[in-house]
Structure 1
Amino acid sequence: MRILFLTGRLPYPPNRGDRLRAYHFLRVLAREHQITLLSFIGDDRETGNIGPLRQFCEDIQLVHRGQLQSTMTTGLNVWRSIPLQSLYYRSSVMQGAVDRLLERRHFDAVYVHLFRMAQFVADRPRPYRILDLTDAISTEIERALPYHDPKWRMIYRLELPRIRRYEREIVRKFNETWLISDAERAQLLQGKADDRVIVIPNGVDTDRFRPSNPTGADNKIIFVGHMGVFHNIDAADYMARDILPRIHKVLPSVQLDLVGAEPADQVRHLAKLPMVRVPGHVADLNAALNDATLFAAPLRFAAGIQNKVLEAMAAGLPVVTSSYVNEGIQATDGVHLIVADEPDTFAGRVVDLLQDPALRRKIGRAGREFVMSRYRWEDVLDRLKIVAESQAMRR
């Protein structure tokens, strides 16, 4: 199939959740399909990142999205009923690029990454249109409300009804919609039946993320994530300020590493606390995971699947995480990972693992086996085979 691949961010480097999914889908689909990538970029310097994508694409086209222009567009169109983030990506230049490609070339399908980009093909009857919502973003916004400052809480309270309505409406305009987990599908459909809404999970590169150090450091906890994203910033702060001191009372030698690209000031300042390191981006994430004793991901709000947790499990590292995170992963608490939510409980489960090497090994092995059996990037290729077959039957 010839596919137009439409993204709001250039899917490279794959250093945050949205880019990660788009990059790996692009990489896997290119094995059997011809891909034209059309993407926004926010900065001309991003053009330096297209090199690694060329091997997967027969053509790459970019549209510049300036922050000032996007902000002005949002302000001028705020009276509209669509979500602010869709308004932020509203662009006559992108619409023109989409229209020209679809009029001048033959495409069998359009893949649209996230609802912010849906506006550019939502009203077209063809070609076959796939909307990858990934998450029901309204769920995470609702869960995050108590943790925002008053200004952003007010903005998101106004935005939330728009997003909920838009998510329901936009699905009806596409041939099919993809979500990352059964939990996200249930949140979107709210008990309704719709066989056009399909679960396509993320995958993990289990050759890259694997056990390589059977011992690891003593009493070293690691949390990994893009440290400029709000739910990771909150989790890092919560871990360092509320949970780590409780662990320290029992295990004074405990250390916490907060690893991830582009740490926000709030995260960088945590390095001033005793027992906390903020190394930022690391070149070899698998080595960093294997150098730790366990992985802690105390996200107080989340949606979808947190790949950082899957990668830690693939590396054989025992994981302690929250109920919201496991809602997407659907692992068995106490077998594949440990689930805890309140600070005292979370700290207690971490201490239990730090003091029990046999339990760490048992959960680490079970977690890796679980990830290897359930999370494959190739699932997206399997789905496109079904789409191609159904399209061929209609010709």
Structure 2
Amino acid sequence: MSGRRFLLVACRSARQVGRGDGVVLRARIAMLRRHGEVTVLSFGGGDDTPWPDPGVRLVEVPFSAPRAVLGALRGLPGGLPIQAGIWRQPAFVRAFRGLLATGGFDAVGFITLRPALALEPWLAAAPPRRWLEMIDLLSENMDRIGARAPWPRRALMRFEARRLVRAEARAAALFAPVILVNPDEAARHPGFIHLPLSLAPGRFHDPAPLRPGRLRICVSGNFTYFPNREAAGLAVRGAAGLVAAGTAELTLLGRGAPALAATLAAGLPIGAEEPADMALALAGQDVALCPVLTFTGMQNKILEAAAAGLIVIASPGPAAVIGLEPGRHFLPATDAASLAAQLAAVLADPGRFGPMRRAAQDFVRAAHDQDRLALALDRALDLGPPSG
């Protein structure tokens, strides 16, 4: 190792699986460890288990709901987005300032805009080399979700989106580089760069052989997030016919799956798991349903399903963000009827989709290879080659 020291700041613990920002955080930990030691500051607590790598230190502070409300209210007059205000909590600020005072860090990276804005008043004490990583632009994300939300939630989300636009414009001056997972949004904003989501080498394995006459269908994601709950409801409607007929079994995989399955079941036998290892859970499935009604986030669920070698049925737009082509890498579907039609086609002749599964798997494993993307991060942060 070169002996460098890095500080990564995130809202949620690196231990928490099932969220997009956590996927990025864990990938960055692995990439930066090639250059030195990594400290991660986040909210969390309650789990004192050391990280498996002794070169990684987790500093976690408890999240306070009352402090979140207070932070959001205090930030409103100054234009601080609510998305950031809820994280501007005294314990988080004290931990950040304490680490900067004693840590001797060479660089500081923020995972998503939220903690970056929450800690903006104290950035002057941070090293000159500081960067920001975002899944997608929160302002556009908020607009998309708000467009489907009922009033008054719609009005609140549009108000928040306007504040986030101004905050994102400031980010270009505060951080270098600003890295986006979403390539289209990065291309529209000078000074922002695109870095795809990465796949850890050897993490995903080929699924079990297809069983004739009965499909194992899954829907994965963090189901505490409203767009994923909405998408899961659509997937259940699309798969309901086959499940009711006994020619398919349907399982929700991810955080909040049991509660959502109970809500959506309506008499259907829907399985639910909160797997610690999503790659292992996907290896026991045949088909992944990945419909997206609100086009937000990096759609990690599509990437993981393709990497696991499943037959992917997905909304075309989000699949295109990670480079997948309809008909070649996945089966496109936009509503319950088209989901049902694609599932019927797979059930009728699952072997016909073997080349599609292999093409998708080969593509994502190459395009999203973590070792290759680590070199791209090295260039973006001007780190040079790792040593040791």
What letter is aligned with 1:279?
A: A
- Quote the offset at 1:341 in angstroms: 1.3
Q: Is the 8 A contact 1:233 1:264 kept in 2?
A: no
Q: Is the 8 A contact 1:4 1:35 kept in 2?
A: yes
TM-score between the two structures when normalised by the length of structure 2? 0.87
Within 5 Å, which residues of 2 pair with 1:252-331? Answer: 253-263=247-257, 265-274=259-268, 276-282=269-275, 285-331=278-324
Q: Is the 8 A contact 1:183 1:304 kept in 2?
A: no
Structure 1 residue 235 corresponds to structure 2 residue 236: no
What letter is aligned with 1:6?
A: V
Structure 1 residue 199 corresponds to structure 2 residue 200: no
Alpha-carbon distance change, 376 to 34 in structure 1, aligned in 2, over 3 angstroms: same
Gap regions ≥5 residues in structure 1: none
Alpha-carbon RMSD:
2.7
Gap regions ≥5 residues in structure 2: none
Q: Is the 8 A contact 2:242 2:248 kept in 1?
A: yes
The separation in 1 between residues aligned to 2:246 and 2:166, in whole angstroms, is: 50
CA deviations on 1:57-111 (whole Å, 9 max, x unpaired) are: 2x43333331111112212332231210111111344334333333334322111
Structure 1 residue 244 corresponds to structure 2 residue 245: no
The separation in 2 between residues aligned to 1:303 and 1:22, in whole angstroms, is: 18
The separation in 1 between residues aligned to 2:15 and 2:338, in whole angstroms, is: 38
Within 5 Å, which residues of 2 pair with 1:1-395? Answer: 1-41=4-44, 44-45=45-46, 47-48=47-48, 50-52=49-51, 55-57=54-56, 59-119=57-117, 120-121=119-120, 123-124=123-124, 126-186=127-187, 189=189, 193-194=190-191, 197-205=192-200, 207-216=202-211, 218-241=214-237, 243-245=238-240, 253-263=247-257, 265-274=259-268, 276-282=269-275, 285-379=278-372, 381-386=374-379, 389=382
- Quote the offset at 1:208 in angstroms: 2.7
Secondary structure of 2:210 counterpart:
coil
CA deviations on 1:333-370 (whole Å, 9 max, x unpaired) are: 11111222133233222322222223321111111101
Q: Is the 8 A contact 1:9 1:40 kept in 2?
A: yes
- Quote the offset at 1:114 in angstroms: 0.8
The separation in 1 between residues aligned to 2:109 and 2:373, in whole angstroms, is: 11
Residues paired across the two proteins, number? 378
The separation in 2 between residues aligned to 1:77 and 1:315, in whole angstroms, is: 43
- Quote the offset at 1:384 in angstroms: 4.5
Q: Is the 8 A contact 2:11 2:115 kept in 1?
A: yes
- Quote the offset at 1:130 in angstroms: 0.6
Alpha-carbon distance change, 388 to 16 in structure 1, aligned in 2, over 3 angstroms: closer
What letter is aligned with 2:35?
A: E
Secondary structure of 1:15 counterpart:
coil
Q: Is the 8 A contact 2:139 2:164 kept in 1?
A: yes
The separation in 2 between residues aligned to 1:198 and 1:22, in whole angstroms, is: 17
The separation in 2 between residues aligned to 1:100 and 1:109, in whole angstroms, is: 15
Alpha-carbon distance change, 21 to 284 in structure 1, aligned in 2, over 3 angstroms: closer
Identity of aligned residues (%): 24
Alpha-carbon distance change, 267 to 149 in structure 1, aligned in 2, over 3 angstroms: farther
Q: Is the 8 A contact 1:216 1:292 kept in 2?
A: no
Alpha-carbon distance change, 54 to 285 in structure 1, aligned in 2, over 3 angstroms: closer
Secondary structure of 1:51 counterpart:
coil
Alpha-carbon distance change, 164 to 131 in structure 1, aligned in 2, over 3 angstroms: same
- Quote the offset at 1:213 in angstroms: 1.3
Q: Is the 8 A contact 2:208 2:283 kept in 1?
A: yes
Q: Is the 8 A contact 1:268 1:278 kept in 2?
A: no
- Quote the offset at 1:24 in angstroms: 2.2
Q: Is the 8 A contact 1:270 1:278 kept in 2?
A: no
